[in-house]
Chain A
């Protein structure tokens, strides 16, 4: 079974631009969560989607948004990029929302200049 895939793997943007990252979960998985990893803060939860609905949201500004499609694929968008948004963005999927092991993709490395 194919794992979680994320595109693109690497991205360079400039301040003020916006970016959209994509995540395809493991086949049959309906829950997708997004995390931001930075050297100083570790992995921080952004949001979780299940059946096209956002179920949980972390403590990030409104510039960070996401959505999930009917095929469970998910996108996250960051508008008005700031230098501090440079990070590894990880997507994780699980069969259902709730008490389920999450499986991670390789991440998208975003660099904001």
Chain B
């Protein structure tokens, strides 16, 4: 049972435009969400996070939006740059009957930003 879903395996955008990566989750106990970026042959790099008490968090060109009622979050990258081309993973954590903050990851979305 996949609790974190990234339904788009890939996304292609033009340099300078907005990239929107989507993520859905099913576990209502999740209350902390993160986005990681991964280049080939490297480990994932933390990008941005959001707690369930917020609906938006911004860091430079990156903004994460959380819609708790829809169990949906999205990552907006504006403007997109060729160096943003990578696989983006959505991750979630929360408690379920005790201390259990392990991260559950989606399968990733490959973003390609074309010059």
Q: Number of B interface residues, CB 8 Å?
A: 23
Min Cβ gap A8→B in Å is: 14
| Contact between chains at A102 and B46 (CB < 8 Å) | yes
> In whole angstroms, how far apart are the Cα atoms of A102 and B102 in the complex?
10
**How distant is the Cα of A99 from the Cα of B102 in the complex, in angstroms?**
9
- Residue pair A103, B101 in contact (C-beta under 8 Å): no
Determine if A90 and B43 form an interchain contact, defined as CB atoms under 8 angstroms apart. yes
Whether B107 pairs with A104 at a CB distance below 8 angstroms is: no
Would you call B32 and A106 a contact (CB within 8 A)?
Answer: no
A17 within 8 A of B: no
Which B residues are in CB contact (< 8 Å) with A33?
102-103
User: 15 additional contacts, CB 8 Å, given A104-B46, A107-B42?
Assistant: A4-B43, A6-B43, A41-B107, A42-B105, A43-B89, A44-B105, A45-B105, A56-B101, A101-B34, A101-B46, A101-B49, A102-B46, A102-B103, A104-B43, A104-B44
Instruction: List 25 interface pairs A-B (beta carbons < 8 Å), by A numbering.
Output: A35-B103, A42-B89, A42-B107, A42-B108, A43-B91, A43-B105, A45-B103, A48-B102, A56-B100, A56-B101, A90-B44, A92-B43, A92-B103, A97-B101, A99-B32, A99-B93, A99-B101, A100-B101, A102-B103, A103-B46, A104-B46, A105-B43, A106-B42, A106-B43, A107-B43
